[in-house]
């Protein structure tokens, strides 16, 4: 069932209702996939009437766009907060961003499955590409900027491409339930950092310099 249940009575705020429906959409995408998710499934998962869904979102497409926006905003806020809590060095900030990708509040199978459902539709839906494109670019620019400080401008773009591809691949394997655990995925990402920059990273974190 959807994670957000508070305010289930008639007087729940508009924002609470919208959040209930978005969480129920994530659940349905994770269970049924994109094509099989209907407004009726979402309403049932949220414990609300179909009329409430139509009142807040008007159509399945608008609900899906709101759900994807929610996931994208949550992810962006999460890695940016992790970066901002880290130290000032590029190594500390890169470490924090990589660790954030495997936070149990973010890298859950239901959320990863919802992400993959949207990825599968993005090629044919420019709205989805536009929603995530700017955020993906900002993420990769951040990674590339940190790697430029670590390895120099000449290598930064190639290294960022490889690291981002690794992180996306690990998310996909977690979603596919291949037996890979979240901690093992995190260790694989850490292994990349250690192998690429043994003077800067150990398995336990950035080396003190």
CATH number at residue 118: 1.10.357.10
Residues 3 and 76 in one domain: no
Of 14, 36, 58, the domain-final residue: 58
Best CA proximity match to 107, nearest among 65, 145, 79, 140: 79
The per-residue pLDDT for range 136-181, each reduced to its tens digit, is 889 999 999 999 999 999 999 999 999 999 999 999 999 888 899 9
Domain, as residue range, for 137: 64-206
- Look up the pTM and report it: 0.86
Q: What is the pLDDT of residue 11?
A: 52
Residue 207 has pLDDT above 90, yes or no: yes
Query: Are 102 and 202 found together in one domain?
Result: yes
Q: Which of 106, 107, 128 is nearest to 118 (CA)?
A: 128
Query: How much is the pLDDT for 6?
Result: 40
Examine the domain organization and report whether 47 and 80 are in the same domain.
no
Which of 26, 42, 58 marks a domain boundary? 58
pLDDT band at 4 (very low <50, low <70, confident <90, very high): very low
Question: How far apart, in Å, are the Cα atoms of 134 and each of 74, 76, 127, 147, 148?
Answer: 14, 11, 12, 20, 21
pLDDT at 178: 84
Once rounded to an integer, what is the mean pLDDT over residues 93-104? 97
Domain closes at, from 37, 58, 79: 58
Q: Which residue has the tokens 């990863």?
A: 112
Check whether residue 38 and residue 117 sit in a common domain: no
Other residues' Cβ atoms within 10 Å of the Cβ of residue 86: 19
CA pair distance 159, 148, nearest whole angstrom: 9
CATH of the domain at 30: 1.10.10.60
Amino acid 49: pLDDT: 87
More confident site: 5 or 124: 124
Both 48 and 97 in one domain: the answer is no
Angstrom distance (rounded) from CA 186 to CA 204:
11
Q: Quick one: 88 and 113 in the same domain? A: yes
Separation in Å, CA 64 to CA 82, 148, 160: 27, 37, 30
More confident of the two residues 121 and 23: 23
Given a cut of 80, whether residue 204 has pLDDT beyond it is yes
Tell me, what's the pLDDT at 134?
A: 75
Four-CA torsion 169, 95, 131, 56, nearest 10 degrees: 100
89 and 190 together in one domain: yes
């Amino acid at each position: 069932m959807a994670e957000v249940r508070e305010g289930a009575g008639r007087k729940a705020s508009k924002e609470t209702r919208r959040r209930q429906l978005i969480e129920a959409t994530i659940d349905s995408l994770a269970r049924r996939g994109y094509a099989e998710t209907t407004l009726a499934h979402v309403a049932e998962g949220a414990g609300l009437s179909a009329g409430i869904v139509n009142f807040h979102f008007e159509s399945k497409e608008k609900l899906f766009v709101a759900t994807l926006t929610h996931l994208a905003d949550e992810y962006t806020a999460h890695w940016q907060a992790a970066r901002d809590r880290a130290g000032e060095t590029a190594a500390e900030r890169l470490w924090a961003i990589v660790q954030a990708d495997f936070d149990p509040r973010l890298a859950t199978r239901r959320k990863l499955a919802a992400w993959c459902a949207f990825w599968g539709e993005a090629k044919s839906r420019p709205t989805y590409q536009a929603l995530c494109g700017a955020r993906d670019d900002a993420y990769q620019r951040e990674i590339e900027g940190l790697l430029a400080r670590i390895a120099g401008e000449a290598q930064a773009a190639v290294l960022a491409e490889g690291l981002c591809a690794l992180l996306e691949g690990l998310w996909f394997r977690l979603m596919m339930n291949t037996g890979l655990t979240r901690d093992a995925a995190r260790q694989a990402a850490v292994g990349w950092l250690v192998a690429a920059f043994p003077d800067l990273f150990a398995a336990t974190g950035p080396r003190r310099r």
